[in-house]
A and B are shown apart, each in its own frame.
Chain A
Amino acid sequence: MEITTSDLGLAARVTHLTKRFGTGDGAVTALDDVSVGIRRGEFTAIMGPSGSGKSTLMHIMAGLDEPSSGTAWIGDTDITSLNDRELTLLRRRKAGFIFQSFNLVPTLDVKANILLPFDLDGRKPAVPEQHRIQDLVYDLGLEKRLTHRPHELSGGQQQRVAIARALASGPELVFADEPTGNLDSATGREVLRILREASTNGQSIAMVTHDPIAASYADRVLFLGDGRIVADKPRQTPEEISAHMLRTEQEAAA
């Protein structure tokens, strides 16, 4: 019997993942035979300079993009064999998303934005989910903002709403793409603390970033370079992460 993703204690994993863009001379290999697992209940940072393939890796793991070859799982589901509709349902039910900007639907108020994954699924949150949402709203300080529209909120508040939405359904894995990229450093640190706390409570989170400070909040840091995983380290200080990145950069230049 094949070993499943959950047997390995993983929330998601990819094996021999390759992604090429374009053809001929202009072809770019964004991911080159990557195999890695995101451990359950951990806050994993995926680091790397621009063009290292970190966003592509996240997009494929989240079922937003298809690999050229290789396999990706969310939980025990092989997502590379799913069609568009099945992938859509999977994203709705098993994944949460936090983006750098444009996270919320401007025509819906805060409450409707948080409940969007349930709404798209055509159901009301079950009682335990309602409790979780209430706790999230309270913990994130959004209880007085529920009827506000996104444009009435600050960037930090908008990002908190996105976090509440991503965590509301208790997804298998939350994907965060540069969640602090558009925030000032104080607000950014707060967002990172919230994410770390969520992972302490058992939520698996994968965060793509090129900011060493942001990555230092994670339990584990994966370093990508030229489409490969070049290092896989436990929690690091910002200094260690910066030093590592600098070293890789110098080696590449030499």
Chain B
Amino acid sequence: MSFLRERGMGASILVAALSSAFGVTLLATTGYLGFLAGDTLGEGGTVTLMIGILSSIFIVIAMYVGAIVTANTFSTIVAGRTRRIALMRLIGSTARAERRAVATQGLIVGLIGSVIGLGMGIAIAYVGTSIVGRLIDASAYDQPFAAWMALPAIAIVLTTWLAAWGGSRRVLSVTPLAALGGSVARTHEEARGGRAKNGFAIVLGLLGVLLLVSGLLLGLFTPVAVVVSFVGGLLSFTGLVMGSAAVMPPVLRVVGRAFGGSATSRMAAENALRYPERSSRMSIGVVVGVTLVVMFAVATETFERVIVTGLSQEDADATGLSAFLDVFSGVMMGLVGFSAVIAAVGLVNLLTIGVVQRRTELGLLRALGLSSSQIRVMVLLEAAHITIASTLLGLVLGVAYGWIGAQSTIGYMPEGGLIVAPAVPWAPVAVVLGSMAVLTLVAAVTPTRLATRISPVEALAA
């Protein structure tokens, strides 16, 4: 069990715990809302089902981002273990056995994280329902937690296991010779043959875009067009996530160029591109979060603006439509924003491991005269590089998806039509930008501390 002390394992446990606590809490909330609805309206079943479906979507998104982060973490851990794995291979262990060992560690990490998350979820369910029950004076609720609410925790054990298996693919390419060579730290990650995967991603993306355009046009006649747009959005976004290793590097490159030409900024910009696949997967987690939050914000705002222009101000206030939409989009943004928290854990972890695995290089740079403050700037730029690139892409995608979603719902209305520009609500966007700035600073703390502590003598002696 000593592997649990290895850098990255703690983060994977945290990711599993967060995802499973999130899932259990959401399901417990669903159950409670169903109970309240049944209590007051006598329609518990339908409400539970509706909210249950919504909750499942959010849980799946969180699990998906969690799985990306875990797979990425494990592939980074494996990269750092190359020497040890090579030594095992040299002594006579098979590549498959080594990979199984890594996957088993994933299973254990998933189990520990899920149990912690489950415990947190149950605690929140009991405390939450009793507080809310007292606040709104509802009748006693006897089942804050039921067995089915543990489903996300079980699912997360499995996804963590699978993610560790996926992330450990690199083990297969470690040769026994790597144990003898001294140049492990120098190798670049070669662009791996992901052509089939990229082809599939392109097909999905194009199909998605086609459906999005159809949804926009159909929306001029019927609000049902939003279903077409929804499927289009789902397909195109999945294509984008699958093809992230092809999509993100150019974005990262453009952002990196904006950092300027000094050695520190160039090195910071190049570091993300050193392992393009790793950085791409990492940033796509953040992109998912930002896109979804911005999408909900823009969709609701655009929708609201068109609806409200059709009504007089009093009518709008009277129906409480504005207020309802604001609360609805706020809750949605909060729920999808959670996946951004999980992605943030991954980002912190990526930067930290990146510094640990660059010890020798940082030692060399210290010897050549890189000062502590230059190290600080470099690590901060590295973090900013990923967050800025992800935020930019997320903003563009979020505005586009949100606008298309709103347009295909309301395009048929006389007040609507394609001429309506996307309404971008500044408050949520400001919150997104602020969170990303905070994330950048937080993500840089640990790696900076580790990097400034490196002694050139020790690093270069290794």
- Which residues does A use to contact B, with CB under 8 Å? 55, 59, 62, 64-65, 84-85, 88-89, 91-93, 97, 99, 101-103, 105-108, 112, 115-117, 119-122, 150-151, 165, 177, 182
A122 & B262 in contact (Cβ 8 Å cutoff): yes
Mark interface residues in B447-462 (1 if CB within 8 Å of A CB, else 0). Answer: 0000000011100110
Q: Confirm or deny: B158 has a beta carbon within 8 angstroms of a beta carbon on chain A.
A: no
Q: Which residues of A sit under 8 angstroms from B186, Cβ to Cβ?
A: 102, 106, 150-151
A105 & B361 in contact (Cβ 8 Å cutoff): yes
Q: Confirm or deny: B266 has a beta carbon within 8 angstroms of a beta carbon on chain A.
A: yes
Q: Given A105-B361, A107-B271, check contact A121 B369 (CB 8 Å).
A: yes
B182 & A88 in contact (Cβ 8 Å cutoff): no
A92 & B368 in contact (Cβ 8 Å cutoff): yes
Q: Given A64-B456, A120-B374, check contact A99 B364 (CB 8 Å).
A: yes
Interface of B is mostly: helix
Complex Cα spacing A65 to B264, Å: 24
Q: Confirm or deny: B180 has a beta carbon within 8 angstroms of a beta carbon on chain A.
A: no
Q: Given A112-B263, A120-B263, A182-B182, check contact A105 B364 (CB 8 Å).
A: yes
Q: Given A84-B372, A108-B267, A119-B263, check contact A102 B365 (CB 8 Å).
A: no
Q: List 8 A-B contacts (CB under 8 A).
A: A59-B457, A102-B186, A106-B188, A106-B274, A107-B271, A107-B273, A107-B274, A121-B369
Complex Cα spacing A102 to B181, Å: 13
Within B345-371, the residues touching A (CB, 8 Å) are 360-361, 364-371
Q: Confirm or deny: B270 has a beta carbon within 8 angstroms of a beta carbon on chain A.
A: yes
A88 & B369 in contact (Cβ 8 Å cutoff): yes
The 4 closest A-B pairs by CB, nearest first: A92-B369, A119-B263, A107-B270, A88-B371
Complex Cα spacing A84 to B367, Å: 11
Q: Given A99-B460, A102-B460, A106-B274, check contact A88 B364 (CB 8 Å).
A: no
Complex Cα spacing A93 to B369, Å: 8
Q: Which residues of B sit under 8 angstroms from A84, Cβ to Cβ?
A: 372
What is the chain A residue whose CB lies nearest that of B365? A105
Q: Confirm or deny: B173 has a beta carbon within 8 angstroms of a beta carbon on chain A.
A: no
Q: Given A64-B457, A107-B271, A116-B263, check contact A101 B371 (CB 8 Å).
A: no
Q: Which residues of A sit under 8 angstroms from B456, Cβ to Cβ?
A: 64
Closest Cβ of chain A to B363, distance in Å, is 8
Q: Which residues of A sit under 8 angstroms from B187, Cβ to Cβ?
A: 151
Closest Cβ of chain A to B227, distance in Å, is 47
New contact pairs (5) apart from A97-B368, A102-B360, A107-B267, CB-CB < 8 Å: A85-B371, A92-B368, A105-B364, A115-B263, A117-B369
Of the candidates B267, B274, B369, B371, the one having the most CB atoms from chain A within 10 angstroms of its own CB is: B369
Closest Cβ of chain B to A52, distance in Å, is 15
Complex Cα spacing A108 to B268, Å: 11
Complex Cα spacing A92 to B371, Å: 9
Q: Which residues of B sit under 8 angstroms from A99, Cβ to Cβ?
A: 364, 367, 460
Q: Which residues of B sit under 8 angstroms from A119, Cβ to Cβ?
A: 262-263
A120 & B370 in contact (Cβ 8 Å cutoff): yes
B263 & A91 in contact (Cβ 8 Å cutoff): no
What is the chain A residue whose CB lies nearest that of B459? A102
A106 & B263 in contact (Cβ 8 Å cutoff): no
Q: Which residues of B sit under 8 angstroms from A101, Cβ to Cβ?
A: 182-183
Complex Cα spacing A105 to B366, Å: 12
B369 & A89 in contact (Cβ 8 Å cutoff): yes
Q: Which residues of A sit under 8 angstroms from B266, Cβ to Cβ?
A: 107-108, 112
What is the chain A residue whose CB lies nearest that of B367? A97
Q: Confirm or deny: B57 has a beta carbon within 8 angstroms of a beta carbon on chain A.
A: no
Q: Which residues of A sit under 8 angstroms from B274, Cβ to Cβ?
A: 106-107
Q: Which residues of A sit under 8 angstroms from B455, Cβ to Cβ?
A: 64-65
Q: Confirm or deny: B53 has a beta carbon within 8 angstroms of a beta carbon on chain A.
A: no
Of the candidates A62, A101, A177, the one having the most CB atoms from chain B within 10 angstroms of its own CB is: A101
Closest Cβ of chain A to B381, distance in Å, is 13
What is the chain B residue whose CB lies nearest that of A101? B182
Complex Cα spacing A105 to B372, Å: 17
Closest Cβ of chain B to A215, distance in Å, is 21
The residue that B361 contacts in the complex, of A59, A65, A102, A112, with Cβ under 8 A, is: A102
Closest Cβ of chain A to B385, distance in Å, is 13
Complex Cα spacing A159 to B203, Å: 47
Closest Cβ of chain B to A142, distance in Å, is 18
B370 & A88 in contact (Cβ 8 Å cutoff): yes
Q: Which residues of B sit under 8 angstroms from A62, Cβ to Cβ?
A: 367
Mark interface residues in B181-217 (1 if CB within 8 Å of A CB, else 0). Answer: 0110111100000000000000000000000000000
A65 & B457 in contact (Cβ 8 Å cutoff): yes
Complex Cα spacing A117 to B457, Å: 18
Complex Cα spacing A26 to B461, Å: 20
What is the chain A residue whose CB lies nearest that of B456? A64
What is the chain A residue whose CB lies nearest that of B462? A102
B270 & A91 in contact (Cβ 8 Å cutoff): no
B457 & A106 in contact (Cβ 8 Å cutoff): no
A108 & B270 in contact (Cβ 8 Å cutoff): yes
Of the candidates A55, A115, A117, A119, the one having the most CB atoms from chain B within 10 angstroms of its own CB is: A119
The residue that A102 contacts in the complex, of B188, B364, B372, B373, with Cβ under 8 A, is: B364
Q: Which residues of B sit under 8 angstroms from A97, Cβ to Cβ?
A: 364, 367-368
Q: Which residues of A sit under 8 angstroms from B361, Cβ to Cβ?
A: 102, 105-106
Q: Which residues of B sit under 8 angstroms from A105, Cβ to Cβ?
A: 267, 361, 364-365
Complex Cα spacing A212 to B262, Å: 41
Of the candidates B361, B367, B455, the one having the most CB atoms from chain A within 10 angstroms of its own CB is: B367
Complex Cα spacing A103 to B361, Å: 8
Complex Cα spacing A150 to B457, Å: 22
Q: Given A101-B182, A102-B186, A106-B188, check contact A116 B368 (CB 8 Å).
A: yes
Complex Cα spacing A121 to B457, Å: 21
Q: Which residues of B sit under 8 angstroms from A116, Cβ to Cβ?
A: 263, 368
